[in-house]
Amino acid sequence: MPGKPTKSEEEKSTEEDSLEDLPGVGHTTAEKLREAGYRDFMEVAVASPDDLAAAADVGEGIAQKIILEARKRAKIGGFESGAEILERRKRIGHISAQSNAINELLGGGIETQAITEFYGQFGSGKTQMALQAAVTVQLPVEKGGLNGDVVYIDTENTFRAERFSDMAKALGLDPDKALSRVHVARAFNSNHQELLVPKAFELAHDRPVRLLIVDSLTAHFRAEFLGRGALADRQQRLNRHMHELLRFSDVFNAAIICTNQVSARPDVLFGDPTGPIGGNIVGHTATYRVYLRRSKPPHRIARLVDSPNLPEGEAVFSVTGEGIRD
């Protein structure tokens, strides 16, 4: 490789990747990339050429070359052997939902390297599920957590610190410490919501973020893109947003939780009058899709409706003063 200065092993492990080592990346381009949240080879390696081209202000051809070299440096190639895939899957972690029934339904809990979508009507328990996971992820692995921090993108201003504290106390955590490990950002519109993902990438370089929540994934998009004419745009933006979330889950071996409403009135745009918003785009990108509905209080029913490797099924759970329980 031309011009690459050799560094001692120690320097290599303590220094950040130098983006300037990539072909066609000078200081200015490297700065632009870092500003856009691409800090190391891995993040560049998993970018899409048009995203990278826009961020670095270069042509797509150049972007493609940069990405290819970053893939080599980050040691991710075009093909992975089955053994490598198995190895990566072994790193998958699970966050306990604090309900054995739900953990069983989800094959061990809420998975990392995946998006889990909870959808349902108002009051079905989507936000409670998200808050519970935001507490549980902080626990050590042997207690169902991942010893991690949380990024909480709140689009509806429904994050309640008091409720979060109660749930933390119930699991024996120091509530103040637990609150300091959840990083909440209020998203004011869909564009702001999208911009919070690169912010999360930045944060995850300093903190061990193992869970990213978007509550709600679709509310802003739904409110802003009205009518048939806006549908294609909306779906494209949602698609891109979700792929950025997936990228986050891959890079940091983190779990992603998204919540989604169902449209209460017949929505001609999606065919299914009571289906989740965002239709196929959201459904196909989410790895696990869980439908929540009310039952006899305090019971709720969770139904796994879409999963690559688990059977469909239902679980009964409760929303209690302490949080989600069986």
- Dist CA 199 CA 209 (whole Å): 12
Is 307 an interacting residue with respect to Mg ion (CB under 5 A)? Answer: no
SS3 readout for 97-137: CCCHHHHHHCCCCEECCEEEEEEECCCCCHHHHHHHHHHHC
Is 64 an interacting residue with respect to ligand GTP (CB under 6 A)? Answer: no
- Dist CA 68 CA 76 (whole Å): 9
Is 127 an interacting residue with respect to Mg ion (CB under 5 A)? Answer: yes
Q: Rounded to whole angstroms, what are the CA distances from 229 to 38, 226, 233, 273?
A: 34, 8, 8, 19
Among 59, 61, 273, 321, interactor with ligand GTP by CB under 6 A: 321
For the bound state, the minimum distance from the C-beta of residue 78 to ligand GTP, rounded and expressed in Å, comes to 41
Three-class DSSP category at 230: helix
- Pick from 213, 290, 292, 308: which is nearest to 256 by CA? 213
Inter-residue contact 134 to 154 (CB < 8 Å): no
- Dist CA 225 CA 235 (whole Å): 9
Is 127 an interacting residue with respect to ligand GTP (CB under 6 A)? Answer: yes
**Listed ranges 15-23, 56-64, 151-159, 235-243: which one lies at the site for Mg ion (CB under 5 A):** 151-159
Q: Rounded to whole angstroms, what are the CA distances from 231 to 214, 224, 227, 264?
A: 21, 10, 7, 18
For the bound state, the minimum distance from the C-beta of residue 126 to ligand GTP, rounded and expressed in Å, comes to 3
Query: Residue 188: which of ligand GTP, Mg ion, none does it interact with, CB under 5 to 8 A by kind?
Result: none
What is the secondary structure of 128-176 as a DSSP string? Answer: HHHHHHHHHTTS-GGGT--S-EEEEEESSS---HHHHHHHHHHTT--HH
For the bound state, the minimum distance from the C-beta of residue 192 to ligand GTP, rounded and expressed in Å, comes to 19
Looking only at residues 143 through 182 of this chain, which bind ligand GTP when binding is defined by CB under 6 A? 158, 163
**Listed ranges 55-63, 126-134, 242-250, 281-289: which one lies at the site for Mg ion (CB under 5 A):** 126-134
* Number of neighbouring beta carbons within 10 Å of residue 101: 18
Looking only at residues 258 through 277 of this chain, which bind ligand GTP when binding is defined by CB under 6 A? 261
CA 32, 37, 38, 40 torsion: positive or negative?
positive
Inter-residue contact 216 to 153 (CB < 8 Å): no
**Listed ranges 25-33, 70-78, 121-129, 222-230: which one lies at the site for ligand GTP (CB under 6 A):** 121-129
Give the interface size with ligand GTP as a residue count (CB under 6 A).
Answer: 14
- Dist CA 87 CA 91 (whole Å): 7
**Listed ranges 15-23, 89-97, 125-133, 142-150: which one lies at the site for ligand GTP (CB under 6 A):** 125-133
Nearer to ligand GTP, 47 or 150 (CB): 150
**Listed ranges 84-92, 115-123, 188-196, 238-246: which one lies at the site for ligand GTP (CB under 6 A):** 115-123
**Listed ranges 53-61, 126-134, 143-151, 268-276: which one lies at the site for ligand GTP (CB under 6 A):** 126-134
Is 260 an interacting residue with respect to Mg ion (CB under 5 A)? Answer: no
Query: Residue 163: which of Mg ion, ligand GTP, none does it interact with, CB under 5 to 8 A by kind?
Result: ligand GTP
Nearer to ligand GTP, 55 or 290 (CB): 290
Nearer to ligand GTP, 25 or 290 (CB): 290
**Which stretch of DSSP H or E encloses residue 318?**
strand 313-320
Nearer to ligand GTP, 191 or 295 (CB): 295
Half-sphere exposure of 16 (CA within 13 A, CB side): 12
Binding site for Mg ion (CB under 5 A): 126-127, 158
Binding site for ligand GTP (CB under 6 A): 120, 122-128, 158, 163, 261, 319-321
